[in-house]
Amino acid sequence: MGFIWTIIIGLIAGAIAKFVMPGRDPGGIIVTILLGIVGALVATWLGQAIGWYRAGEGAGLIGAVVGAIIVLIIYRMVARRDSVTRS
């Protein structure tokens, strides 16, 4: 159940991250929500590695939003660099 809960929180976190960091993303809102899921999974993994969360316990909404924003920043940097090299 923890993994499914992390995905649900990631969906919400991706939507919040899109509102916090507006702008044109190469993939739009769907990719941003998927990045939110990845951010929630990363936040869960890091939180468990650091000891903030127990095994099987997922990141909360705030941790997932922070993770989603970090993943979105990295995605934008990579996507921007890729579009510059293709031009």
pTM (2 d.p.) = 0.69
Length of the chain: 87
Split the chain (87 residues) into runs of 10 and give each run's mean pLDDT. Answer: 72 80 69 79 81 70 81 81 62
Which residue shows structure tokens 């941003």? Answer: 32
Report whether 6 contacts 58 (CB < 8 A): yes
**Domain-wise residue ranges, the chain:** 2-86
Taking the C-alpha atoms of residue 72 and residue 80, their distance in angstroms, rounded to an integer, is 12
